[in-house]
């Protein structure tokens, strides 16, 4: 994916959620939501990078909540074993990422969930 396309994706995701139109499939930026879903299985690294870029760009509650309820939840459920070390490392140095983790609901893998609980705390 070219950098310009990646930036457009990040910007569109923020725009659709900041406009409270995330459930409107006719919103011109709705494609950004679908892109996360389209790529979650085969391109988790791009989804990870997009999430990190989004939280470095905005602290909007609606955007953070949507990331936790959608892309982050799917990443953890589908690729948690491969990503838990990255999640731990990112949470150590990135307050916005810890805030994102705090919005995540409990995952099915208890070992991963326990690590997430530790990673999202301020201790």
- Angle at CA 114, nearest 5°, toward 89 and 84? 35
- pLDDT score recorded for residue 25: 86
- Using the predicted structure, report yes or no on whether residue 42 has a pLDDT greater than 90: yes
Residue 104: closest CA among 60, 74, 59: 74
Distance CA 60, CA 17 (A): 9
* pLDDT for residue 22: 64
Closest-CA residue to 54 (of 75, 78, 74, 71): 71
Q: For 28-48, what is the mean pLDDT?
A: 94
Mean local confidence (pLDDT), 35-49: 95
Residue-level pLDDT at 24: 82
């Amino acid at each position: 994916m070219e950098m310009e396309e990646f930036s457009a994706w990040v910007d569109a995701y923020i725009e659709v959620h900041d406009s409270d139109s995330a459930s409107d499939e006719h919103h011109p930026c709705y494609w950004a939501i679908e892109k996360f879903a389209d790529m979650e299985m085969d391109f988790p690294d791009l989804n990870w990078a997009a999430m990190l870029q989004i939280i470095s760009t905005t602290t909007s509650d609606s955007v953070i909540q949507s990331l936790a309820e959608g892309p982050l939840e799917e990443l953890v459920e589908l690729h948690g074993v491969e990503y838990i070390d990255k999640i731990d490392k990112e949470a150590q140095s990135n307050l916005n990422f810890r805030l994102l983790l705090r919005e995540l609901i409990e995952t099915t893998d208890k070992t991963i969930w326990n690590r997430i609980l530790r990673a999202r705390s301020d201790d």
